[in-house]
Each structure stands twice: as C-alpha cells, then as structure tokens.
Amino acid sequence: MRIMLFSSRQYDNDTFTEANAGHGYELHFLEANLDSDTAVLAHGYEVVCPFVNDQVTAATLETLILALNRRLPRAHPARCCPIPIT
C-alpha cells in the first residue's frame, strides 16, 4: 500500500518508518502541507495522511478526486485529527 504523509518533519519520518518496519507499507514523506495546490502530488497513492495544519477543504478533496482518477484516497488514522475520506 502506498501512503503519502503530508506536512512531514524528520521526527515523523523516523517514527513512521520505525513503526512500519514489520508491515512493509510504502511510505512517502512530503514536507509540504496538503491543500488544493499540493493535492495533485497524491496521484498514484492509496492513502493520504493529512496532519492537523493541512487544509482539507472541498477544493482539496476535488483535486484529490481528479488526481486519483475520481477515486477518493483513504485517510490514515495514525496522525492527529485524521479525516476519513472513505
């Protein structure tokens, strides 16, 4: 499973990489905040993991739908204030 983590800092990368060691998910960390402009970067991912300061607005969700060929990504529940999109 390919997972894009937005608003990632080095401590997020370290923590999630360590926690993922036994699971084998394909984690990709991006420092940029999720918003309607950066949502296109989720193209090809199955899960989008927003963080509390990301802008998950209607415009962001519309961009995610287009980026993923009209298939909504799932939110990853392991971070602060996850937004389930399924």
**18: domain CATH number?**
3.40.50.720
**For the chain, what is the domain count?**
1
Residue 85 domain-assigned?
Answer: no
How confident is the model at residue 72, as a pLDDT? 56
Residue 36 covered by a domain? yes
Could you give the CA distance from residue 49 to residue 77 in angstroms, rounded to a whole number?
8
Range of the structural domain that residue 37 is part of: 2-75
Q: Give me the pLDDT at residue 24, please.
A: 92
The DSSP 8-state label assigned to residue 78 in this structure reads T
Please enumerate in sequence order all residues whose Cβ is within 8 A of that of 35, keeping only pairs 6 or more positions apart, or say none: 54, 55, 57, 60
Tell me if residue 24 falls in helix, strand or coil: coil
* 7, part of any domain: yes
Whether residue 74 is predicted with pLDDT greater than 60 in this model: the reply is: no
Q: What is the pTM of this model?
A: 0.77
Give residue-wise pLDDT tens across range 39-72.
999 888 888 888 888 998 889 988 888 877 655 5
* pLDDT score for 61: 86
Tokens read off for 43: 């193209």
